[in-house]
Structure 1
Amino acid sequence: MKGTKAQSLRYQVEKWLAPTTPVHVTAFGRTRWGRARYVCVETWQATGSHSLFFFQHEDGYWHVFPPVADTPQWAVWRTGTDG
């Protein structure tokens, strides 16, 4: 089980982008589908700028992938009859 520290956005940003790299929040809000919180952070290095989105899940943990409920779902229905 993860500790409270692993739950924090700061922990995840430092894990993915290195703790000594300055970062800036460039966007934040809620997703359209499931209203989950998201934050986009950007860092600059000699190789250029890098951005990552972090999403808060229902359990309070932050991840770089959206919650399943926030992933757009596609479905196909057939109408009529074949043949």
Structure 2
Amino acid sequence: MNPTGTSLRTLVDKWLAPNARVPARVVRFSRTQEDRLRYVCVEAAHPARTIAIFFFRHDDGSWCVFPPVATRPAMTARAA
């Protein structure tokens, strides 16, 4: 994992604020069908509501709440 990247645990603590009374748990993990991106769905059942967030793994090993940008085809020209 990228030492400067964001860990999944750090993001779960930031977004869901789990504690002893409101634990966070992984409810789903897999890869997307199209481009095989790894994702994890984590939920926390707060007294007023249940919150679930999807986290996506990026190429540098960090985790984010948004998927990485898809690689697009590119052309280059070389000078003769």
- Give the TM-score range, shorter chain: 0.7 to 0.9
Moved over 6 A (4+): none
CA-atom RMSD in angstroms: 2.1
Aligned identity (percent) is 50
Task: State the structure with bigger RCO (CA 8 A, min sep 6), 1 or 2.
Answer: 2
* Cross-structure match for 2:43: 42
Kept in 2, the 8 Å contact 1:5–1:11? The answer is no
Q: Could you state the TM-score of these two structures normalised by the residue count of structure 1?
A: 0.71
The alignment partner of 1:38 has SS state of strand
**Structure 1: runs of 5 or more not aligned:** 71-83
Q: Which residue of 1 aligns with 2:13?
A: 14
Partner of 1:26: 27
- Count residues with an aligned counterpart: 68
TM norm structure 2: 0.73
Change in 2 beyond 3 A, CA 1:45/1:37: same
